[in-house]
Structure 1
């Protein structure tokens, strides 16, 4: 599955994943945004890994991402909501 979302500020967020047994697998998040520290991208993908397709809306996805990041992470040009919107756009 492939989903994209261009934020109001013009940054692109791309999410690619497979759906296996109704859950997100092999999640990759990319785009032209900035993230400090860069390693936090792994936490975002980890928050989405295994997510049940049938049980989530954009708010729940964004909250799950927010909870995975913790203190000291700076998302520049995108947000948990932008990632959530890209995920939802990837799903049929």
Structure 2
């Protein structure tokens, strides 16, 4: 499954994932954004793996924020933007 979201005034975030047993697996976040430290991308991917496929934007954004804590910086995207891309992937929505 594939979802995309362009942050208003920001960057594109892309999420590719598999839903298995009602849960997200094989989550891969990518796009034209920047993160610090580099390990933050792995934290985002791992935070989403295992979450319910019907959890919703708020729950996914919270999972991302919690995993990143205060030690990471997102440039051009937000936890909410990642969650919207997840929602679009899960729902099979094409990017507008």
In the alignment, structure 1 residue 80 sits paired with structure 2 residue 71: no
C-alpha displacement at 1:57, in angstroms?
A: 1.4
How far, CA to CA, are the matches of 1:81 and 1:2 in structure 2? 17
What is the distance in 2 between the residues matched to 1:62 and 1:42?
Answer: 15
Secondary structure, aligned partner of 1:17: strand
- Identify unmatched segments of 5+ residues in structure 1: none
Residue 9 of structure 1, CA deviation: 1.5
TM-score, normalised relative to structure 2: 0.91
1-side partners of 2:24 and 2:52: how far apart? 7
| Segments of 4+ moved more than 4 angstroms | none
Count how many residue pairs are aligned between Structure 1 and Structure 2: 91
Q: What corresponds to 1:8 in structure 2? A: 8
Give the gaps of 5 or more residues in structure 2: 92-96
Pairwise CA RMSD of aligned residues? 0.9
